[in-house]
Amino acid sequence: MPGHQSDIPSEPAKSAVLHAEGITKAYGSLLACSDVDFDLRAGEVHALLGENGAGKSTLMKILYGLVRPDRGTVSVHGQPIRLRSPRDAKAAGIGMVSQHFELVDNLTVCENVALGIGWWRSSRLSRLASELADFSSRHSLEVSPHARVRDLPIGLQQRVEIVKALFGGAEILIMDEPTAVLSPVEWTGLQQVIRSLVNDGKSIVFTDHKLHEALAVADRCTVLRRGRKIGTVDASDADEKTIARMMVGRDVSLLSRNTPNTPGDAVLELRSVSTASALHDANLDDVSFSVHRGEVFGVAGVEGNGQSTLADVLTGLVVLTEGEVLHYASPETSVPGDEKRSATGLIPADRHAIGSAVDRSLRDNLMYRDFAAAPLSKRGWLQFGAIDQHCMRLCERFDIRAPGMHAAFSDLSGGNQQKAVIAREMHNSPELLVAVHPTRGLDVGAIEFVYEVIRTFRDAGGAVALISEELDEILALSDRFVVLFKGRPSEVIRPDEADFTDIGLKMTGASA
């Protein structure tokens, strides 16, 4: 296979089903896409990669007629087409599965598909149902035509969207972050579906936050950075590192494992903890583990298996029905009457609902933990000079980029919001850090920063309880971890002894 890196393809590959050239789209002064060329070959899976805000969704929306470019042309099978709306895209054989599904919940799969195609086919539902059943079994979609959409798990609803697009005549399928809503097992299933469709002659372009996922299924990858195309590479020649470098513009080191640690005393211990009042998650069932100084203790698992209940337990938000949670703060750092809080930093799962006051300024958000004590206040009066200095120091140390201290928190990018939460929680080195999905929704550059903070903290003797759905994250950061399934933990696993398949099975309860 030719290993060339075609920065600017001089002419479209002969077999390109879709060719876009010079695509430019500005929003005010921001160039979401700047002179982007893109081509999709027949029967290929093409990943579109880039950090948050790189322009991936914009390019896809342009290809599907949802957004009109300022400049640029799109052709299908060598014929220039006009894309004024998705109707034009569909007529040209382009279909899209967006991040948010557009299905009618209380109709069946078959009825939903019927809505997306011409009346002459939809008027014969029973025939359509048998076509659907055939198609589903041919591509191992496991979608039953008569199932009601609302009864299907998200992973299958996504497949209904795929089927809908294909039955609507799509030869080219555009998928914007299809894996964002999937569990690891569902992702394996989708991979098989994608390969099967491509073998059938379809061409697929998709975006993904996780590079290993993209590389696992893509034939080629195109990387965008700040609206510009950086290059297109064959997936077989690329690895995560090269792609990450293209995305960010410098080397990134996400996956390097921790250096060996020398754990100290336990800082946190759970003894046979069970709960009964979790609302949207499994209750914990006899959970015991301890987190020591100088270690990251990971808790892996798929959403709904007790991870958020555990986070609530660690932060004291849930009443235990059995067992106990013990915090061992060292005497010199404990503050009478407020021991746990001063000893624990929290990166909550939802940085908007819990981690911050989004309507307030960056400065307010940075000082919430510390404003009541000197030097930020004296005898009950806030010392604004000291507060500004404190906040400026935090911005510098934690690389928070904002227009100013008084910028609304909600105007910061996700990465900078998370850095601000981390700065507030970590600047005075708590003994225990509880980090819940600390990199959710962040792009590679910001993820790298968060990893760095956690590793530095642990190397300096801090104890970290890391709750994450990202298995990669657990493997890269933790010294020991457990997998939660239906509220019960697996035995303790060390990442260097971990078997990926076995962990995947544990996450789904296939082996307990």
Ligand X SMILES: Nc1ncnc2c1ncn2[C@@H]1O[C@H](COP(=O)(O)OP(=O)(O)O)[C@@H](O)[C@H]1O
**Where does this chain bind Mg ion (CB under 5 A)?**
56-57
Nearer to ligand X by Cβ, of 68 and 378: the residue is 68
Interaction partner, residue 376 (ligand X, Mg ion, none; CB < 5-8 Å by kind): none
Cβ partners under 8 Å of residue 10, min gap 6: none
**Residue 398 neighbours by CB distance under 10 Å:** 20
Site string for ligand X, 81-110 (x = CB under 6 A): ------------------------------
Nearer to ligand X by Cβ, of 59 and 436: the residue is 59
Q: How far is the CB of 36 from ligand X (least distance, A)?
A: 11
Q: How far is the CB of 49 from ligand X (least distance, A)?
A: 9
Interaction partner, residue 27 (Mg ion, ligand X, none; CB < 5-8 Å by kind): ligand X
Q: Could you give the C-alpha distances from 61 to 95, 99, 123, in angstroms and in order? A: 11, 12, 30
Q: How far is the CB of 182 from Mg ion (least distance, A)?
A: 16
Q: How far is the CB of 35 from ligand X (least distance, A)?
A: 15
CA 490 to chain centre: 24
Q: How far is the CB of 343 from ligand X (least distance, A)?
A: 37
What distance in Å separates the CA atoms of residue 492 and residue 500, rounded to the nearest whole number? 15
Nearer to ligand X by Cβ, of 49 and 466: the residue is 49
Which conformational region is residue 242 in: left (phi greater than 0), alpha (psi within -120 to 50 degrees), or beta? Answer: alpha
CA 20 to chain centre: 28
Nearer to ligand X by Cβ, of 54 and 74: the residue is 54
Interaction partner, residue 503 (ligand X, Mg ion, none; CB < 5-8 Å by kind): none
Q: How far is the CB of 249 from Mg ion (least distance, A)?
A: 19
Interaction partner, residue 368 (Mg ion, ligand X, none; CB < 5-8 Å by kind): none
Interaction partner, residue 326 (Mg ion, ligand X, none; CB < 5-8 Å by kind): none
Q: Could you give the C-alpha distances from 302 to 134, 182, 190, 434, in angstroms and in order? A: 32, 10, 17, 18
Q: Are strands 287-292 and 295-300 parallel, antiparallel or unpaired?
A: unpaired
Nearer to ligand X by Cβ, of 25 and 139: the residue is 25
User: Which H or E element spans position 32?
Assistant: strand 30-41
Q: How far is the CB of 50 from Mg ion (least distance, A)?
A: 9
Q: How far is the CB of 32 from ligand X (least distance, A)?
A: 3
Cβ partners under 8 Å of residue 220, min gap 6: 41, 44, 46, 47, 232, 233, 234, 235
Which residues 410-469 are close enough to bind ligand X by CB under 6 A? none
Which residues 24-83 are close enough to bind ligand X by CB under 6 A? 27, 30, 32, 50, 52-58
Q: How far is the CB of 57 from ligand X (least distance, A)?
A: 3
Of 160, 33, 150, the closest CA to residue 109 belongs to 160
Nearer to ligand X by Cβ, of 37 and 431: the residue is 37
Q: The sheet that has 295-300: what strands, in order across it?
A: 344-347, 432-436, 463-467, 295-300, 480-485, 488-489
**Residue 352 neighbours by CB distance under 10 Å:** 13
Q: How far is the CB of 418 from ligand X (least distance, A)?
A: 16
- Tell the burial category of 324 from Cβ atoms under 10 Å away from its Cβ (0-12, 13-18, 19+): exposed
Q: How far is the CB of 57 from Mg ion (least distance, A)?
A: 3
Query: 3-state SS of 37-105?
Result: EEEEECCCEEEEECCCCCCHHHHHHHHCCCCCCCEEEEEECCEEECCCCHHHHHHCCEEEECCCCCCCC
Of 412, 474, 468, 415, the closest CA to residue 444 belongs to 415
Q: Could you give the C-alpha distances from 141 to 30, 117, 325, 451, in angstroms and in order? A: 40, 20, 45, 37
Nearer to Mg ion by Cβ, of 56 and 363: the residue is 56
| CB 271 within 8 Å of CB 326 | yes
Nearer to ligand X by Cβ, of 27 and 368: the residue is 27
**Interface size with ligand X, residues (CB under 6 A):** 11
Interaction partner, residue 345 (ligand X, Mg ion, none; CB < 5-8 Å by kind): none
Nearer to Mg ion by Cβ, of 48 and 362: the residue is 48
Nearer to ligand X by Cβ, of 15 and 410: the residue is 410
| Look-up of token digits 């507060």 | 387
209 binds ligand X (CB under 6 A): no
Of 273, 205, 232, 252, the closest CA to residue 59 belongs to 205
Nearer to Mg ion by Cβ, of 176 and 469: the residue is 176
| CB 140 within 8 Å of CB 192 | yes
Nearer to ligand X by Cβ, of 180 and 357: the residue is 180
Interaction partner, residue 58 (Mg ion, ligand X, none; CB < 5-8 Å by kind): ligand X
Interaction partner, residue 53 (Mg ion, ligand X, none; CB < 5-8 Å by kind): ligand X
| Look-up of token digits 């500005």 | 26
**Residue 460 neighbours by CB distance under 10 Å:** 10
Interaction partner, residue 32 (ligand X, Mg ion, none; CB < 5-8 Å by kind): ligand X
3-state secondary structure (DSSP) of residue 433 = strand
Q: How far is the CB of 23 from ligand X (least distance, A)?
A: 12
Interaction partner, residue 50 (Mg ion, ligand X, none; CB < 5-8 Å by kind): ligand X
What are the backbone angles phi and psi of residue 64, rounded to the nearest 5°? -100, 5
Interaction partner, residue 307 (ligand X, Mg ion, none; CB < 5-8 Å by kind): none
Which residue is closest to Mg ion by CB? Answer: 57
Interaction partner, residue 373 (Mg ion, ligand X, none; CB < 5-8 Å by kind): none
Binding site for ligand X (CB under 6 A): 27, 30, 32, 50, 52-58
